[in-house]
Structure 1
Amino acid sequence: MYPDLTNCRNCSHTVNSNFCGQCGQPVNIKRVDSHYILHEIQHVLHFEKGILYTIKELLIRPGQNIKEFISDNRSRLVKPILFIIITSLIYTIINHFFHIEKGYIVYTGTEKSAVGSIVDWVQNHYGYGNIIMGIFISFWLKLFFKKYSYNFFEILILLCFVMGVGMLIFSFFAIIEGLTKYSLMKVSGPLGVAYCTWAMAQFFNKKKAGSYIKAFIAYTLGMITFSIAIGILGTLIDNFTK
């Protein structure tokens, strides 16, 4: 009765059209060529639902847009985990290309220690390092803003977006410093913290001055406890491997 029936290569569901009715996979997969690569790049950079649109919205209305992403519409912005990984990768590439600085974690101990190895890993994997750091900051935000209904994972989503923009701020100043040779990266740190503080306060309650104070303290404590955790973990590894 259905001479053109076939099975989906993704879920094995019986298909008699161009797309699988079960998972949406196309029956005929297009070959990967230059047109495919260009289409994928355009899809990522597309103004609507793309990274450029996401950056614009997070710079103008971070609190409103992130709240809408969490509760109403998750199709307007780039996925938060993807966003922080892409922005961290951008910074890593720029940093390595211009040889700007070692990273945002300053460590002066011996590089052969476990602590030095962990710091080195973080500085070579900013995407994952930022997510882990976001976990620590999220803990303090949850504590300081406990009267709000957001759970820990929703706050972590907030941090992925906010810290992603922070990485772009670092990237911007890294490019300027690399081209001009003027030491401007020291400006990016305070500016990045200022943006993160402002964006987090906007998310919770932009009308209260206390929101900005608590957001700044939570961010600072998150950074401190993240560094302490690295020190403790590295010390434990060193003690057990001696």
Structure 2
Amino acid sequence: MAEKQQCLNCDSELTTAYCGVCGQKASTHRFSFKEVVITDFMHGIFHLDKGFFFTLKELVTRPGHSIREYVQGKRASHFSYFTLLVILITISFLVSKLAEINIAEIYQKNGQGVFSEIQAFQSKYPRGFLLVSIPIYSIFSFLFFRKSKLNFAENMVLNCYRTAAEYLFTIVFYIACVFMKNIDLISVSYAFLQVLVLIYMIVFYYQFFSEYYQNKILLFLKTVLVSVLITVMSTVIIIFAIGVYASN
């Protein structure tokens, strides 16, 4: 009589190639050098290249169109939206340390002292910032582009990708700051970054929702209005949320 096998993950009895309780593969074994280096490591690199860099390219070259296709079902080639966002946030944080610049000082120099509070909160609580900002962005896009009939979750996905692209621009800015030491030049560059992010938001929304609106002029005007409102109102709401959080 064959000896009964138990799942190494949850100790449940195994009757098939996969555990019926936790789903782990039954043939789990010790790691070998070949498996780690040749199989897992190399596969991880090429899988990352296939999805990660493809998605970055799409977010730069045809942002709205590619993410609309993703939402509609073409997902095999794209990297996970939230994982991408977390990776870019992490890279942005690491590169910012190399740049050794004080964003709060830049805000003060550009007459935007109030935004230093957002930057401080974002740096200290990156996940908390996302929990506040992404839903706010999604509420605006959900309400203003109701004609698309996308649900709130789908708006969360598209705004995760849009925010990821904005972090990509921020990473480029921080890399440039590694070589720039003049605070005036950095301040001008940061102001340019803010304008670039706004333009990108307009292009992203225009491309994404272009399939749902026949009147392209009206759509363009709407995307400009929504992008400006999102920038202004979300900032106000986030500052309010930070104030409530700080008071507690």
User: How high is the TM-score relative to the length of structure 1?
Assistant: 0.77
Deviations 1:170-213 (A, max 9, x none): 11122122224342232222112211220121110167133333
- Pick one of 197, 204, 208 that aligns with 2:209: 204
Please show how residues 1-242 of structure 1 align to structure 2 within 5 Å. Answer: 1-3=1-3, 5-10=4-9, 12-15=11-14, 19-20=17-18, 22=20, 23-25=23-25, 27-31=27-31, 35=37, 38-39=41-42, 42=45, 45-47=48-50, 50-102=51-103, 108=113, 116=117, 120-126=120-126, 128-181=128-181, 182-183=185-186, 184-205=189-210, 208-236=216-244
Deviations 1:109-147 (A, max 9, x none): 7x9xxxx5x752323344542453122121111121111
* 1:122–1:129 Cα contact (<8 Å) kept: yes
Residues 162/131 of structure 1: CA separation in 2 closer, same or farther (3 Å cut): farther
- Post-superposition offset of 1:237: 5.8
Deviations 1:80-99 (A, max 9, x none): 11111111111111112212
Structure 2 unaligned regions, length at least 5: none
- Post-superposition offset of 1:235: 4.5
Q: Which has the higher helix share?
A: 2
Mean Cα displacement is larger for which, 34-43 or 159-168? 34-43
Q: Residue 78 of structure 1 aligns to a residue in which SS?
A: coil
- Post-superposition offset of 1:11: 5.1
Which residue identity does 1:42 align to in structure 2?
I
* 2:138–2:159 Cα contact (<8 Å) kept: yes
CA distance in 2, matches of 1:139, 1:32: 49
Matched pairs, number: 230
The runs of at least 4 consecutive aligned structure 1 residues that moved more than 6 Å come to 103-107
* 1:64–1:203 Cα contact (<8 Å) kept: yes
Structure 1 unaligned regions, length at least 5: none
* Aligned-pair Cα RMSD in Å: 3.3
* 2:166–2:197 Cα contact (<8 Å) kept: yes
User: How high is the TM-score relative to the length of structure 2?
Assistant: 0.76
Which residue identity does 1:28 align to in structure 2?
T
CA distance in 2, matches of 1:73, 1:156: 17
